[in-house]
Amino acid sequence: MVYKTISISGEVYSKLLALKRSNESFSDLFLRVTKKEKPKLRNFYGKWKMSDKEEESILKDINSLWSSWEMD
């Protein structure tokens, strides 16, 4: 394992300490807070602006596709 020394202010240390879980190392803390998460679908709700006509067309296409599926 490689060890690195970094300098941080007391304020930053206090904030990191507040985020750190009791059984967690600072390395684990850094990995946790820097982990990239996949965006949740609900974050995009309402972002796409469309006209009523466009919505109607999309829903018509979806319903058409659903009705073409055969159930066994």
Burial of 30 per CB tally in 10 Å (0-12, 13-18, 19+): middle
> Given a cut of 80, is residue 23 above it in pLDDT?
yes
**Interacting residues of 9 by C-beta distance below 8 A, sequence separation 6+:** none
**Interacting residues of 8 by C-beta distance below 8 A, sequence separation 6+:** 16
The model scores a pTM over 0.85 = no
* pLDDT tens digits along 35-70: 988 888 888 888 888 899 999 999 999 999 998 887
